[in-house]
Every structure is written in C-alpha cells, then in structure tokens.
Amino acid sequence: MSTIPEEKTLDNSLQLLREGFPFLHSRFQRFQSDIFKTRLMMQNVICLHGEEATKLFYDPEKFMRLGAIPKRIQKTLMGENGIQTLDGEEHRKRKAMFMSLMTRPQVTKVANLAADYWWSAIGKWEKMDQVKLFDEVQDLLCRVACQWSGVPLPEKDVRKRAQDFGDMVDGFGGVGPRHWKGKKARRRGEKWIMEFVEDVRAGKIYVAEDTPARTILFYRDTNGKLLDTYIAAVELMNILRPIVAIATYITFGALAMHTYPECRQKLQANEDNYAELFVQEVRRFYPFGPFLGNRVRQDFEWRGHHFKKGTLVFLDMYGALHDPKIWEHPDDFRPERFRTWDESPYNFIPQGGGDHYTGHRCAGERITIEVMKVAAIFMTHFMDYQLPPQDLSFSLVRMPTLPKSGFVMRNVRRIQ
Ligand code: HEM
C-alpha cells in the first residue's frame, strides 16, 4: 500500500481562500503527485488531479454527494438539499427531469430568446455613455431565464433579481461581507420563488405546459410526491441562477476578443463553426469553478492508495483545464485546439465531467455553450464599440473571478 503524500497542517481553509485557484495546483506540483492529502474545514481531504482521477471521481459505486457540499456553499450558491446533494435513484430520477428541459428544441428556444434580448440591449446601449457588459448581460440573461422558465419578471425587478443571482454565485468563495451578501440574496430569491411555487400550485398563476417551471413544480419524486415548496424553489433556481451566471463566461469571452484580436477576426468570418471552438476555449482558459467535492461511499483501493469510507475527496477542476498532459501549451489561448479534441467526458471539465444523465455533470452545459455563441456572434457581427481605459485584469485569488472593470464599453453602435 502506498502512502498518500500529506500536508501536515491543522487546517488549510484560510490558506485556500488566500491562494485561490492555484491552491491545489501548487501542491500537486510540490508533491510531484496527482494525489495528496490535506485538511480543509477541519476534515481530512484527499485531493485528486488528472483524467484517470476524473474517471474515478465520477464512479457512483465509489463516491456519493451526501455530506460532500459544505453548508456555506448550499446557503449561498445552490440552496439546501437540491439535486447537487442527491445520490442513487433519487438523483437519477430528478436528473432525468432536469435533462428533459435540455432537449435540442429547448436549447434553441433559450438561444433564440438570448438573440432577441441582445437586439434590444444593443438598441439601449447605443443611447448610453458607458455600458458595463457584465451587469448588462446579467440583466439580459435574467430576462431570458425567467421568460424561458415561465417565471414572471416585472421590468422594475430585473436588476434586483439579476444582482441577487449574481451575488449567490459570488458569495461561494467569500468570507465575511461577501458571503453574507450571498446568503441574503439567496434568502430573498428563495422567498420570491417560493411564493411563485405556492401561487402556481394554488392555481393563482398559470404557467404554460411546456415550461421548465411547470415541469419542476409538478415533478413527482421517487415516492410519487411533489417536491416540497422549498425544494421546488431551489430546483427552479437551479436553472435560473446558472443562466444568469453565463454572464461571467460572456465577459471573459469579450476579454478574449480584446486580448486576441485575431480570434475576433475569425469570429467575424465564423468559418467551420469557429464560434463553437472559441467558446469552448473560453470555458477552458478562464477560471470559474476551482474544484468539486465527493465523499467515499465505501472503502476501496486505487493505484495502491486506500480511500476510507466517509473521506472527503476534491477533484481539481481548474488545474485539469490547464494540464499540459491534456492540453498542449495550456497557457496559450487557442480555440483551434478543439478541432481535434477527442470529446472525452473526463478531460474537459469546466462544468464537471462524466455523464450528464447518470452523474452530476452540469445539466446546462449545452445551454451555456449556445448562449455564449449568441453573445460572441452579436459582439462581432452586429455591434461595434470602443473600450475606454480600464482595469481588465482578473485575480486568481478571488473565487469566483472576473475582469475587474466588468468590461466597460463606449460608443456602442449597432451594425448591419
Ligand atoms: C451542475 C458549472 C450553467 C444547471 C454543475 C456543476 C458545475 C456547474 C461545476 C457540478 C458538476 C458536478 O458536480 O459534477 C456551471 C457553470 C455554468 C453552468 C460554470 C455556466 C456559467 C448551467 C446552466 C444550467 C445549469 C445554464 C441550467 C440551465 C445545473 C444543474 C446542475 C449543475 C441542474 C446539477 C447537476 C447534478 O447535480 O446532477 N454546473 N453550470 N448549469 N448545473 Fe451547471
């Protein structure tokens, strides 16, 4: 039996927040190993890196999500006891419900709505002195998410709701005020959506047959029961919030177009579906999620290492996207690399890995890609803009992160 390299420490949680995205990577480097043990949140944690480790991590016989997601993340980012925390048959059935919302016609519906809202947004931006892309795209996507889902969103509430969804995401890696802000935003959002759930179920609000809201609110779990009001709200928010979160990738995409003008030109030509390659590279190159957590379901051995039942295991997501064993010259921004990508579900994991239906891989990956493509096409085909001086750098310590200025544009003009 080989010993897992171990970091001798009482607890490294503060260090993780101090170091941010490179926390795991720097330790894999230091130990010259794809596995090491540390202590986080006062628990032993085994950290894993690489394609083989990803295959292991997504084996449901070996791992479970029960007790793997810290409460502080559930109280900000994802809500308590939603799909992310389920295992076995309960997860499989609920995931099938989520995936039934991700069919090609549904994804096209979302992309078309996004395109409609980009048209009207450009009209509005033309009249503004300065446009902060991140905030504006959050608003735009909040409208898209609510309209697609069947959730009424009065125009006067758009900024407030979009901001709250953004704060829930922003709160996951923060301590103190940033975390509290995320918690408050979640409580406000849950109150809003729980009232909606009650009104729909009481027949006071009608939602159309083919809407995600109807699917989620009238879904029956493995016991044949409706989800309780809170869980139904959490699950509905599990599609609203992440659609708004695509604003982060879109802002990084805008940064990529600015930093690599040759990519912008290729987007303008958009030969051989270049936009798809571009957005894939944005999802690979720029940081979003640092790692994922699981708990060992039952004792097992892997590569001569013992994994004890109940141990917390983290999978290095950010590091996998910059691993030179997987990506040639990982620090170069090269969309073309995706022309020859083998499409393995275990080597490109910006939104998790494995199978969308049987595992926890992100249900909304295709929506994310298509909505990002719409943004890339609009920003290169249908609008012109200038960038005033601003700080476009982003921190790797802050999780999640964003270009500091939020990508400010001036003189936005509609073209074509
Ligand atoms: C799960 C990231 C967009 C719905 C996840 C996971 C990650 C992730 C890392 C966990 C994977 C795992 O545990 O193995 C992202 C990012 C997004 C995004 C970075 C873009 C900004 C979306 C969208 C939707 C969505 C647009 C729906 C419209 C979900 C759901 C789950 C999930 C329902 C839970 C899946 C499960 O536990 O089985 N996402 N996501 N996400 N995502 Fe996304």
The model's pLDDT over 3-17, given as tens digits with 9 standing for 90+, comes to 999 999 999 999 999
Q: Is residue 2 part of a domain?
A: no
Q: Is 236 exposed, middle or buried (0-12, 13-18, 19+ CB in 10 A)?
A: buried
Q: What mean pLDDT is reported for the chain?
A: 97
Q: Is residue 120 part of a domain?
A: yes
**Tell me, what's the ipTM?**
0.99
Q: Is residue 5 part of a domain?
A: no
Rounded mean pLDDT of 327-352? 98
- For residue 246 and ligand 1, the question of a CB distance below 6 A is answered with yes
Which ligand 1 atom sits nearest the alpha carbon of residue 245?
21
- Within 8 A by CB and 6+ apart from 271, the residues are none
Which ligand 1 atom sits nearest the alpha carbon of residue 243?
26
**DSSP code string of 302-321:** ETTEEE-TT-EEEEEHHHHT
**pLDDT attached to residue 2:** 84
Summarised one tens digit per residue, pLDDT across range 169-218 is 999 888 899 999 999 999 999 999 999 999 999 999 999 999 999 999 99
Q: Is residue 59 part of a domain?
A: yes
- Give residue 243 CA to ligand 1 midpoint distance, Å: 10
Which residue has the CA at smallest separation from atom 37 of ligand 1? Answer: 84
The number of folded domains in the chain is 1
Return the number of other C-beta atoms located less than 10 Å from residue 408's C-beta. Answer: 19
**pLDDT attached to residue 305:** 97
Rounded mean pLDDT of 323-327? 96
Per-residue confidence band for 276, with pLDDT thresholds at 50, 70 and 90: very high
- For residue 83 and ligand 1, the question of a CB distance below 6 A is answered with yes
- Does residue 154 register a pLDDT over 90? yes
Return the number of other C-beta atoms located less than 10 Å from residue 59's C-beta. Answer: 14
DSSP, collapsed to helix, strand or coil, labels residue 382 as helix
- Give residue 241 CA to ligand 1 midpoint distance, Å: 10
Summarised one tens digit per residue, pLDDT across range 297-311 is 999 999 999 999 999
Q: Is residue 6 part of a domain?
A: no
- For residue 294 and ligand 1, the question of a CB distance below 6 A is answered with no
Return the number of other C-beta atoms located less than 10 Å from residue 134's C-beta. Answer: 19
Which ligand 1 atom sits nearest the alpha carbon of residue 353?
14
Q: Check: pTM over 0.90? Answer yes or no.
A: yes
Q: Is residue 39 part of a domain?
A: yes
Which ligand 1 atom sits nearest the alpha carbon of residue 246?
21
Distance of CA 26 to the CA centre of its chain: 23
Domain containing residue 165: CATH number: 1.10.630.10
Give, for ligand 1, the residue of 351, 356, 374 to mutate: max count of ligand atoms closer than 8 Å to Cβ.
Answer: 351
For residue 400, whether the previous peptide bond is cis, meaning omega lies within 30 degrees of 0, is yes
Summarised one tens digit per residue, pLDDT across range 366-395 is 999 999 999 999 999 999 999 999 999 999
Feature table: binding site for heme: 362
DSSP, collapsed to helix, strand or coil, labels residue 354 as coil
- Does residue 101 register a pLDDT over 90? yes
- Give residue 247 CA to ligand 1 midpoint distance, Å: 14
- Does residue 1 register a pLDDT over 80? no
Which ligand 1 atom sits nearest the alpha carbon of residue 91?
38
**pLDDT attached to residue 149:** 98
- For residue 98 and ligand 1, the question of a CB distance below 6 A is answered with yes
- Does residue 416 register a pLDDT over 80? no
Q: Is residue 151 part of a domain?
A: yes
- Give residue 328 CA to ligand 1 midpoint distance, Å: 27
**pLDDT attached to residue 260:** 98
**pLDDT attached to residue 335:** 98
- Asked if residue 253 lies in contact with residue 280, where contact means CB atoms within 8 angstroms, the answer is no
Per the structure, the complete domain to which residue 302 belongs is given by: 13-414
- For residue 242 and ligand 1, the question of a CB distance below 6 A is answered with yes
Q: Is residue 4 part of a domain?
A: no
Greater model confidence, 72 or 193: 193
- For residue 360 and ligand 1, the question of a CB distance below 6 A is answered with yes
Q: How does DSSP classify residue 350? A: B
- Give residue 369 CA to ligand 1 midpoint distance, Å: 12
Rounded mean pLDDT of 264-291? 97
Summarised one tens digit per residue, pLDDT across range 34-57 is 999 999 999 999 999 999 999 999
Which ligand 1 atom sits nearest the alpha carbon of residue 235?
33
